[in-house]
Amino acid sequence: MKNIVVLVSGGGTNLQALIDAQKDGRLGSGRITAVISSNPDAYALKRAENNSIKAIVLNRREFPDIRTYSEAMRDTLISEKADLVVYAGFMTILDETVCGAFENKMINVHPSLIPSFCGKGYYGLKVHEEALKKGVKVSGATVHFVTAECDGGPIILQKAAEVMQDDTPETLQRRIMENCEWKILPKAVQLFCDGKLSVRDNKTYIYE
Ligand code: GAR
141 alpha-carbon distance from chain centroid: 11
117 lines ligand 1 (CB under 6 A): no
Residue 170: per-residue pLDDT: 98
Helix, strand and coil in the chain, % to nearest 5: 35, 25, 40
CA 208, CA 199: separation in Å to the nearest integer? 15
Q: Given the CA of residue 9, which atom of ligand 1 is nearest to it?
A: 16
Residue 141: per-residue pLDDT: 98
* Close Cβ partners of 23 (under 8 Å, ≥ 6 residues apart): none
The alpha-helical segments, DSSP class H, found in 84-166 are 96-101, 125-134
- Looking at the chain, the whole-number percentage of residues with pLDDT higher than 70 is 100
Task: Dump strand ranges (E) for the chain.
Answer: 2-8, 30-37, 54-57, 84-87, 106-110, 138-145, 155-162, 197-200, 203-206
Q: What is the pLDDT confidence band of residue 20, given thresholds at 50, 70 and 90?
A: very high
* Other Cβ atoms closer than 10 A to 182: 20
- Looking at the chain, the whole-number percentage of residues with pLDDT higher than 90 is 99
Residue 5: per-residue pLDDT: 98
Domain spans, the chain: 2-198
Q: What is the pLDDT of residues 38-84, one digit of tens each?
A: 999 999 999 999 999 999 999 999 999 999 999 999 999 999 999 99
pTM: 0.97
For residue 102, is pLDDT > 90?
A: yes
- 128 belongs to the catalytic site: no
Q: Given the CA of residue 13, which atom of ligand 1 is nearest to it?
A: 17
* Active-site option among 47, 74, 110, 144: 110
Residue 208: per-residue pLDDT: 83
Q: Is the peptide bond before 64 cis (omega within 30 degrees of 0)?
A: no
CA of 123 to the centre of ligand 1 (A): 7
Task: Walk across the sheet containing 2-8 and list its strands.
Answer: 54-57, 30-37, 2-8, 84-87, 106-110, 138-145, 155-162
For residue 185, is pLDDT > 90?
A: yes
For residue 155, is pLDDT > 90?
A: yes
Name the CATH topology of 2-198.
Rossmann fold (3.40.50)
Q: How much is the average pLDDT of 2-20?
A: 98
